């Protein structure tokens, strides 16, 4: 059964002792990362915290964190181990990773229609990519926890004569940091960090997870019911895109009909064709929250499933060397952002100790030596697929930035999942002040990344998108040819612009056609 389609697992873990209240304000000393023996879920508190949040009410913060520490995990240890195995297969070129979802989730979007639309667009994208790539996919949603966002500046300015600033002078307020930190309304009161939002984030994540598990468990992703995957093609104004998608669906339906006719379908109807595996993820930004959802595997779990320290669930694993095994049960997968990957920082200290697979964002400022130093800390045993490296350079910068990183990682003996995020490096602001992204630039970075990997004997085995199943108007271009004048029609993002439903399918076909060309080339060379 799918990791998300199965009931939440919480019996395989025990809650670690709560850290002391006094440690909330422990001074950073810049000490080097010590061995795993010295790691604890709270050892990050001895390091400098990038993107830190200052809470005025420490007593309320401690109360909330103590409550979160007593609540059950949102995901299961077995699910995390399965994802580790599948990402190891990605690193070996046997699977392809699709990660996508909202830039920043909103509490207000925790409703059936939004959750199901997000699932549907990821399912449709995966269907198109599988058809082109002819290999299984790993699907990881940016859902059920993506409530915090790093910001380039801790403050922002509300202009004069604004609905929330009727004065004649600009008003400086704290930046919006995501629903689990403060409110989006541009007022001083709304932007004060509120500890209770961390608890709200847990319960909204739990509600989202529960609905995902329910709908997938009820056959929402059954390949025999492809009509249920359709968001409504009225969103798609480009007839060619409609035809391409219908062609894939028709071909797949014909194949399934044939399998049913010869009886082969009976063997798989209750397994790979009737459901999918959908994992969830978020950026590991709020370390207080992550700490309280980090739990050790219990002896009962080891008895039933085998001790992770004494087996190798992923090729190349060296888990036998670990003195203890801790899992972040708030998500299957979390990632380090481009602003929190300081090798001696608090986030890296936290990430190095959990057994979950982790992502690392690598932007144009990432140097080979910095990357290998970082990998030595979070993956010293060079476990295949332990790390997903998510590159985000920007169109026109891939050729000069990617190759040195790939060579350094390869020379160092790491077997990572190379993933392309073509969104974050291609953000710009229109003359009227609207933040947007250009679909042609997104495709340019994606295709350049495929090509650079091919040229140097590497392989891109994953993609990472900020996308939505809703018909928003936030990114320019695509087959619908969205123009600047249309951006304000449905600009709804809480932070950065997302690909809408149609643009998401557009880019899925770009990936599928890349793999189709690759297969034809390989066939001709035989």
In tens, the pLDDT along 289-328 reads: 999 999 998 744 554 556 555 554 444 443 433 447 999 9
Q: Which of 193, 214, 215, 353 is nearest to 284 (CA)?
A: 353
Q: Is 108 annotated as a binding residue?
A: no
Is residue 59 within 8 Å of residue 431, measured between CB atoms?
A: no
φ, ψ (nearest 5 deg) of residue 228: -75, -15
pLDDT given at position 19: 36
In whole angstroms, give the CA distance from residue 426 to residue 449.
14
Confidence of residue 271 (pLDDT cuts 50, 70, 90): low
Q: Which of 196, 202, 199, 194 is nearest to 54 (CA)?
A: 194
pLDDT given at position 316: 40
Tokens 């203890």 correspond to 324
What percentage of the chain carries pLDDT values higher than 90?
72
Which of the pair, 297 or 170, is modelled with greater confidence?
170
Biggest CA–CA distance in the chain, Å, is: 76
Q: Is 303 annotated as a binding residue?
A: no
| pLDDT greater than 60 at residue 11 | no
And the tokens for 347?
A: 């986030």
Q: Which of 388, 325, 373 is nearest to 353 (CA)?
A: 325
Q: Is 110 annotated as a binding residue?
A: no
Is residue 211 within 8 Å of residue 112, measured between CB atoms?
A: yes
pLDDT given at position 150: 94
Is residue 219 within 8 Å of residue 2, measured between CB atoms?
A: no
In whole angstroms, give the CA distance from residue 442 to residue 298.
44
In whole angstroms, give the CA distance from residue 423 to residue 68.
33
Give the model confidence (pLDDT) of 411-449 as tens digits. 999 999 999 999 999 999 999 999 999 999 999 999 999
Q: Is 435 annotated as a binding residue?
A: no
Which of the pair, 2 or 272, is modelled with greater confidence?
272
Give the model confidence (pLDDT) of 174-200 as tens digits. 999 999 999 999 999 999 999 999 999
pLDDT given at position 22: 30
Element containing residue 267 per DSSP (H, E): none
Confidence of residue 29 (pLDDT cuts 50, 70, 90): very low
Q: Quote helix, strand, coil % in the chain, to nearest 5.
A: 40, 15, 45
And the tokens for 96?
A: 């392809």
Q: How many CB atoms lie within 10 A of CB 200?
A: 16
How many residues are recorded in the chain?
526
343 by Cβ neighbours in 10 Å (0-12 / 13-18 / 19+) ranks as middle
And the tokens for 173?
A: 């307020």
In whole angstroms, give the CA distance from residue 270 to residue 252.
17
What percentage of the chain carries pLDDT values higher than 70?
79
Residues paired with residue 158 on neighbouring β-strands, in sequence order? 171
168 by Cβ neighbours in 10 Å (0-12 / 13-18 / 19+) ranks as exposed
Q: What's the Cα-to-Cα distance from 310 to each of 259, 320, 323, 507, rounded to whole Å? A: 41, 5, 11, 42
pLDDT given at position 253: 64
Q: How far is C-alpha 5 from the geometric centre of its chain's CA atoms?
A: 19
Q: Is 307 annotated as a binding residue?
A: no
In whole angstroms, give the CA distance from residue 443 to residue 140.
21
pLDDT given at position 218: 85
DSSP assignment of 34-57, as one string? --GGG--TTGGGGSB-TT----S-
Tokens 């992550």 correspond to 290
pLDDT given at position 23: 32
pLDDT given at position 222: 67
Range scoring the smallest mean pLDDT among 78-92, 212-226, 334-348: 212-226
Using the CB atoms, write b or e for 357-386: b if 16+ within 10 Å. Answer: bbbbbbbbebebebbbebbeebbeebbbbb
Average pLDDT score, the chain:
86
Which of the pair, 259 or 63, is modelled with greater confidence?
63
pLDDT given at position 525: 74
| pLDDT greater than 50 at residue 20 | no
| pLDDT greater than 50 at residue 21 | no
Q: Is 142 annotated as a binding residue?
A: yes
pLDDT given at position 461: 98
Give the model confidence (pLDDT) of 226-261 as tens digits. 655 554 545 455 666 667 767 776 766 666 565 555
Give the model confidence (pLDDT) of 90-143 as tens digits. 999 999 999 999 999 999 999 999 999 999 999 989 989 998 999 999 999 999
Q: Is 392 annotated as a binding residue?
A: yes
Q: Residue 420 has what DSSP assignment?
A: E
Element containing residue 520 per DSSP (H, E): helix 501-525
Q: Which of 372, 370, 328, 332 is nearest to 353 (CA)?
A: 328
Phi-psi region of 494 (alpha: psi -120 to 50; beta: other; left: phi over 0): alpha
Q: Which of 75, 60, 8 is nearest to 293 (CA)?
A: 75
In whole angstroms, give the CA distance from residue 134 to residue 127.
10
List, in order of start, the domains of the chain with CATH numbers: 32-221+275-525 (3.20.20.70)
Tokens 């953000």 correspond to 427
């Amino acid at each position: 059964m799918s990791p998300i389609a199965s009931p939440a697992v919480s019996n395989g873990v025990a809650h670690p002792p709560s850290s002391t209240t006094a440690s909330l304000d422990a001074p950073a000393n810049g000490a080097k990362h010590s061995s795993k023996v010295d790691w604890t879920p709270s050892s990050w508190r001895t390091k400098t915290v990038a993107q830190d949040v200052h809470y005025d009410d420490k007593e309320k913060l401690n109360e909330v964190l103590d409550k979160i520490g007593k609540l059950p995990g949102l995901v299961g240890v077995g699910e995390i181990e399965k994802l580790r195995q599948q990402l190891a297969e990605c690193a070996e070129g046997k699977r392809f990773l699709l990660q996508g979802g909202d830039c920043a989730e909103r509490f207000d979007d925790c409703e059936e229609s939004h959750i199901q639309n997000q699932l549907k667009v990821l399912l449709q994208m995966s269907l198109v990519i599988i058809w082109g790539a002819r290999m299984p996919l790993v699907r990881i949603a940016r859902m059920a926890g993506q409530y915090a966002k790093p910001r380039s500046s801790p403050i922002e300015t509300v202009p004069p004569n604004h609905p929330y600033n009727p004065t004649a002078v600009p008003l400086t307020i704290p930046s919006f940091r995501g629903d689990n930190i403060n409110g989006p309304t541009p007022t001083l009161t709304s932007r004060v960090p509120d500890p209770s939002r961390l608890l709200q984030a847990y319960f909204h994540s739990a509600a989202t997870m529960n609905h995902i598990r329910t709908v997938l468990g009820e056959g929402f992703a059954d390949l025999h019911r492809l009509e249920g995957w359709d968001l409504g093609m009225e969103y798609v104004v480009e007839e060619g895109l409609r035809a391409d998608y219908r062609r894939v669906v028709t071909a797949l339906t014909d194949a399934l009909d044939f399998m049913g006719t010869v009886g082969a379908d009976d063997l798989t109807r209750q397994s790979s064709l009737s459901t999918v595996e959908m994992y969830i993820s978020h950026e590991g930004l709020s370390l207080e929250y992550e700490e309280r959802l980090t739990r050790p595997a219990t002896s009962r779990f080891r008895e039933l499933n085998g001790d992770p320290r004494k087996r190798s669930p992923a090729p190349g694993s060296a888990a036998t060397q670990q003195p203890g095994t801790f899992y972040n049960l708030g998500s299957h997968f979390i990632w380090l952002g481009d602003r929190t990957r300081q090798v001696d920082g608090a986030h890296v200290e936290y990430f190095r100790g959990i057994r979950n697979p982790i992502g690392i964002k690598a932007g144009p400022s990432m140097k080979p030596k910095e990357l290998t130093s970082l990998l030595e800390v979070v993956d010293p045993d060079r476990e295949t697929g332990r790390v997903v490296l998510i590159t985000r350079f920007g169109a026109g910068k891939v050729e000069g930035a990617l190759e040195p990183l790939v060579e350094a990682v390869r020379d160092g003996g790491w077997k990572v999942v190379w993933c392309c995020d073509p969104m974050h490096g291609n953000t710009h602001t229109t003359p009227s002040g609207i933040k947007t992204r250009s679909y042609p630039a997104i495709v340019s970075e994606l295709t350049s990344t495929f090509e650079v990997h091919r040229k140097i004997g590497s392989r891109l085995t994953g993609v990472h998108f900020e996308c939505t199943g809703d018909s928003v108007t936030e990114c320019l271009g695509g087959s619908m040819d969205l123009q600047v004048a249309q951006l304000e029609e449905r600009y709804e993002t809480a932070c950065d612009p997302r690909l809408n439903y149609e643009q998401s399918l557009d880019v899925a076909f770009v990936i599928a056609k890349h793999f189709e060309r690759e297969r034809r080339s390989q066939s001709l060379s035989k």
